[in-house]
Copies of this chain bind each other. A is one copy, B any other.
Amino acid sequence: MKRIGILTSGGDAPGMNAAIRSVVRSGLSQGIEVFGIYDGYQGLVEDKIRQLDRGDVSDIIIQGGTVLGSARLEEFKLLEIRQKAIENLKKHEIEGLVVIGGDGSYRGALALHEMGVPCIGVPATIDNDIASTEYSIGFDTALNTVIDNVDKLRDTSSSHHRCSVIEVMGNRCGDLAIYAGITTGAELIITKETGYDEMEVLERLQHIEESKKKRHAMVIISEKITDVELLAEKISRHTNFSGRSTVLGHIQRGGSPTARDRILATQFGDRAVQLLLNDVSGQCVAVNHGEIVSIDLPEALKIPRRSRKDLFELHERLV
């Protein structure tokens, strides 16, 4: 293998740049050329491809987002679109591909692999919703962004006898909510796994206010579960707290990556290059029992989501 390509796909995540840098530098130091493909699979189809050297990735390890850009391309499931992509790879004599993204990006990589293009997936999503890995790039940064902001809401909540309802990202996977809830000492955590019963939420908050003499309370809730503004209004009406809602939204995607995301991304990127150099294809890298491993993509895509039952029980003991 003499030339490999790299692209980022799907929602961006802090640490993608660290992974890009790692792929480029690791490739170059092992004698292969690395090509950046801009704007994900779309750029692959539209031939937005250009060679990257050492200097192109200098200092990007500290930047959020992705210097390669990202996009979603529904049409990539069409054979003729993928054939166009493969033509572009051939034109540049690119023999292997590193795809940084989530499960959707993995499906594209698997399809290319099945058409004969060596592909390795690298997991990156802020909400940790890739079941094949314990941690994906971006989760640690997003989680720290959430707790920084929740810590700020705590200041103002306790000044006003308030219950703050904070909506965080992650619908398929509630990890941001459960980890943020435990690390900020939130009173209630609501995710797809816990289910949502409005009456029960209001009763528990009223109980907390009465029994624990709390000056403030916090509810962390995953996106797309309920309208948090309405929930806050009901809290004001039905409990002694004054309810206020905050939707953290896209700020969870940004920021300079944390140490953990930088190191994980660096290790993943390097491992992806090693795999391609060892003629492995159709796999993704992952953290399993705390170690960097690789898994066949079809298997990875079938792994069921982890339950966080143990963490919810931990939260119940401490709240």
Q: Which residues of A contact B (CB under 8 A)?
A: 8, 12, 14, 16, 18, 21-22, 25-26, 29-30, 54, 58-59, 61-66, 69-71, 134, 140, 143-145, 147, 149, 151-161, 164, 179-180, 182-185, 212, 215, 244-247, 249-251, 253-256, 258-260, 262-263, 266-267, 270, 287-291, 314, 316-319
Contacts of A143 in B (CB 8 A): 259
The CA-CA distance from A179 to B182 in the complex, in Å, is 26
CB distance from A290 to the nearest CB of B (A): 2
Rank and list the top 3 A-B pairs by shortest CB-CB distance, nearest first.
A290-B290, A152-B254, A64-B155
Residues of chain B contacted by A289 (CB below 8 angstroms): 289-291
Whether the pair B154, A254 counts as a contact (CB closer than 8 A) is yes
Cα A50 to Cα B287 in complex, Å, equals: 43
Q: A59-B185, A182-B266, A246-B250 are in contact. Are A29 and B317 (CB under 8 A)?
A: yes
Interface CB pairs A-B, < 8 A, 21: A12-B159, A25-B319, A29-B317, A54-B212, A61-B185, A62-B185, A66-B159, A140-B260, A147-B262, A149-B254, A151-B254, A152-B253, A155-B253, A155-B254, A156-B253, A182-B262, A183-B262, A244-B250, A270-B314, A270-B318, A290-B291
